[in-house]
Amino acid sequence: NGVTPQAAVLRTQMEGGPPRYRKRFSDVPEDVTANFVVTAEQMAIFRSFYRTDINMGADWFVMNGLDIGNGYETNSEVHMVGQPNAMKINAVTWKVSLKLEVRNA
């Protein structure tokens, strides 16, 4: 899993003088790549969760046990960025890769 903090500062070029910088967020969201290996049954559950519970990825949800690089697992509020990537490894196993935006980690 990879973790990348989003840019916390905006830079504005002024007509004269040095650029101005300001904070974008009080708490900076982080972008996380999460990879899972799941059974075919778990994949069916994930697909149902994706379609119905989180509205095809449009809604935020709580992910339990996500390690965002701080060495411990948290219950984090996340949102999928783009579509999940799923690859069938064999008849009973899938690898799922998700790009997530994490807040309140």
Per-residue pLDDT tens digits for 17-56? 888 777 765 666 788 888 999 999 999 999 999 999 999 9
In-domain check, residue 50: yes
Provide the residue range defining the domain that includes 61. Answer: 29-103
In-domain check, residue 19: no
In-domain check, residue 55: yes
In-domain check, residue 24: no
In-domain check, residue 2: no
Does the pTM exceed 0.85?
A: no
Q: Which residue, 58, 69, 67, 62, is CA-closest to 104?
A: 62
Q: What are the angstrom distances between the C-alpha of 102 and each of 24, 71, 79? A: 16, 16, 7
Q: What is the mean pLDDT of residues 8-24?
A: 76
Q: Percent of the chain beyond pLDDT 90? A: 47
Q: Domains in the chain: how many in total?
A: 1
In-domain check, residue 20: no
In-domain check, residue 13: no
Q: Quickly state the pLDDT bin for 11 (edges 50, 70, 90).
A: confident
